Copies of this chain bind each other. A is one copy, B any other.
């Protein structure tokens, strides 16, 4: 089929009528499908069903040091959880704190703490005139919401195939002392699915921040979340804490991970890895903040998995459910609008999202159009700070939650929405 932009006005109008009829038909079907969040499906949740038998009335509740995990104490995580999550995060157990069920909550608290108490003895951010964060875009909306909530100025940094634009990152970080952080999803990025290259990680590690309290917020949310079993089809990410140490920047990074998309989104365990100096800073805060996180859930996770090999095996079962969904969307997009020059999309090898770029100025309209036919997408703009996509073109597709049958219908609707909005856009210009 001809690219839309190469069609005559008459051809476009004919195509429009044709697609509108199709759209009215799917609309009449009264769908109600949600593709807005990176939510595991029920089938994925069932993968972890047996974990719920691990703790019961008959087992011992002591951790490996003999401490009863049901009681108060062990504020920073039981040793065996530090060991397992350390393996997952590729760091030593002593570099870790184990938290509750939400890594987002750790990130939020880290920013909140920096606001009221500062980072390692530096001035609390709430006492500064201005604090800035770098935001590789498109990125994760919940990150941007945190910095927005605290009134932190966000600066867009283009995200390329190999990571953020490092020239810009270096320019800002090395020269502007108001730049205190950068949000990163370094592997199978949300939403574009890219993984930072070795060079990118090394350039991060060798930053020379103007601010003493500049930190990289390294949200390795999809560290083991491959879609393919073949190692050649898996992305590899250089371990940054080690590289920062080698580069003489041991305190520059906070690494976040969780099992939210390994076991249960509502009841996983989350962890932070960073330098001893940073850990000390954070522990001072935690000692006042809480009586400790849920150690029983830590024990449940550790006893269920036993070791990293089992966790990887577990992830292969997730991949077996997710992979066909990703491929279904990619195949349909290619077949339906492959040659039309009205959109581009990613083909990630892991993570939870396909990132779709429409023609400029079409994303909001496409999402609205799909909603008309009962398909809820992530709000257009959400992948940018302040919800403002300067080119209004990025749409995040989350294929995980619907069944394959639902996903097929939803993608049909989406494709029609892309067609119709693009036709109107091109007609405007003719």
Contacts and interface: CB of A to CB of B under 8 A. Distances in A.
A146 interface: yes
A257 B329 CA distance: 47
Given A56-B52, A57-B52, A126-B126, A289 B105 contact: yes
Interface string A347-361: 000000000000000
B288 A71 contact: no
A1 to B, nearest CB: 39
A266 B108 contact: no
A104 interface: yes
Contacts of A49: 57
B288 A101 contact: no
Contact of A294 (B73, B104, B291, B297): B297
Interface string A362-406: 000000000000000000000000000000000000000000000
B104 A266 contact: no
A39 interface: yes
A190 interface: no
Interface residues of A, number: 56
Given A49-B57, A112-B116, A266 B72 contact: yes
Nearest to A116: B115
B39 A260 contact: no
B70 A266 contact: yes
Contacts of A285: 149
B56 A288 contact: no
A323 B266 CA distance: 38
A102 interface: yes
- How many subunits of this chain does the assembly comprise? 2
Nearest to A263: B70
Interface in A287-320: 288-297
A102 B124 CA distance: 26
Contacts of A52: 55-57, 59
Given A52-B55, A146-B288, 19 more contacts: A40-B71, A52-B57, A53-B56, A70-B264, A101-B292, A101-B294, A102-B293, A104-B289, A104-B291, A105-B289, A105-B290, A108-B288, A142-B288, A142-B291, A145-B288, A146-B289, A149-B288, A260-B291, A267-B294
28 contacts: A39-B72, A40-B71, A42-B68, A42-B71, A45-B61, A45-B71, A56-B56, A70-B264, A71-B265, A72-B266, A73-B266, A100-B294, A101-B293, A104-B289, A108-B289, A108-B290, A109-B289, A112-B116, A126-B126, A142-B288, A142-B291, A145-B288, A265-B291, A266-B292, A267-B294, A267-B295, A267-B297, A297-B297
